[in-house]
Structure 1
């Protein structure tokens, strides 16, 4: 059995294009051998739970792809076991597009980004929605947060893949920059005080 991500996404057409463009010799090997990339390890757990956002693609009932940014405090996405992740769905713009989409088709694709280290993790899965009365919602509790929880998403991981960093532009968030420049700002203030003495 193959790499589950390759098995899921390397369709006949994708494989034909890989052959046409000379990459099948590399990717074809992922369609053979033992099962891989369907059971999360400590590496994936640590990466997912360190993120404060991800992108989620769903499919409308008319077949259109829809991508949405999901965010919250660091760790709001939980790894519940080696094949299940979940997150509390916070109140937002009240469009309910992603929720409507998974009601009709539970397939989702997620992309978790680490721009600082130029890493990305892609996950394909199947969603189960739970309401706030469901006991399992407690597993998704993050404590105090400004937005109300409307429901929970439980995602059965079908496959995952770590992606090539080649075209990921390195970016730094404000807390990271603030922490890095704090000693410099302190030095500048001390120098200013020395000039005024």
Structure 2
């Protein structure tokens, strides 16, 4: 459930608009449910572990939001313990926008997408970075062609799932390979059958 997410994200103006729209009563019931944090369950953790990219938003010292894309092999964003997740920051980023923003304001929002399945998950939490070699090594994906420079550690306080409306399905190479594999298998069987028939059919 997204009680903490809703209580945290709904401001006075959002609530006023919900009153006008007629949706405030339902959201108020959800916000009122007990709990200090939205606890990540197997559903969220499995979704997080399957992602090979996500977007992370932080707040600059000038008050502007900043959104950054992060990527890696599936599972590079992973659970550390409890509601704590993290990922390795690879060498090469020299603007230090997200890293610098966290020095002034540790609040972040993560946006995770599964385009083929038309699913999305939003996470909010408090983040910090560390250059401790053990922390970085623990979050570096195995056999990945990148050098870990620091680690982002995020304590999730809330999350929310969104409906699939208006999400256009998009498929990567692995998705397409899985979809077309039955056709490839059938083509291979037919080729083998043709080769067998040609071998036993008299020529001329």
TM-score, reference length from structure 1: 0.89
Matched ranges for 1:25-174 at <5 A:
25-35=25-35, 38-133=38-133, 135-174=134-173
- Map Cα deviations across residues 86-110 of structure 1 (whole Å, 9 max, x no partner): 0001124422211111122111000
Runs of 4+ displaced beyond 6 Å: none
Taking only aligned residues, the RMSD between alpha carbons, in angstroms, comes to 2.1
* SS of aligned partner of 1:66: strand
- Map Cα deviations across residues 51-86 of structure 1 (whole Å, 9 max, x no partner): 111110111111111111110011001111222000
The 8 Å contact of residues 88 and 141 in structure 1, kept in 2 or not, is answered as: yes
* SS of aligned partner of 2:151: strand
Partner of 2:4: 4
Q: 1:137, CA displacement in angstroms?
A: 2.8
Q: Distance between the aligned counterparts of 1:36 and 1:43, measured in 2?
A: 19
Partner of 1:179: 178
Q: 1:162, CA displacement in angstroms?
A: 1.2
The 8 Å contact of residues 132 and 149 in structure 1, kept in 2 or not, is answered as: no
* SS of aligned partner of 1:122: strand
Q: Distance between the aligned counterparts of 1:107 and 1:17, measured in 2?
A: 25
The 8 Å contact of residues 132 and 150 in structure 2, kept in 1 or not, is answered as: yes
Q: Distance between the aligned counterparts of 1:4 and 1:183, measured in 2?
A: 44
* SS of aligned partner of 1:143: coil
Structure 2 unmatched ranges of 5 or more: 199-204
TM-score, reference length from structure 2: 0.86
Q: 1:192, CA displacement in angstroms?
A: 6.4
Structure number with larger C-alpha Rg? 2
Structure 1 unmatched ranges of 5 or more: none
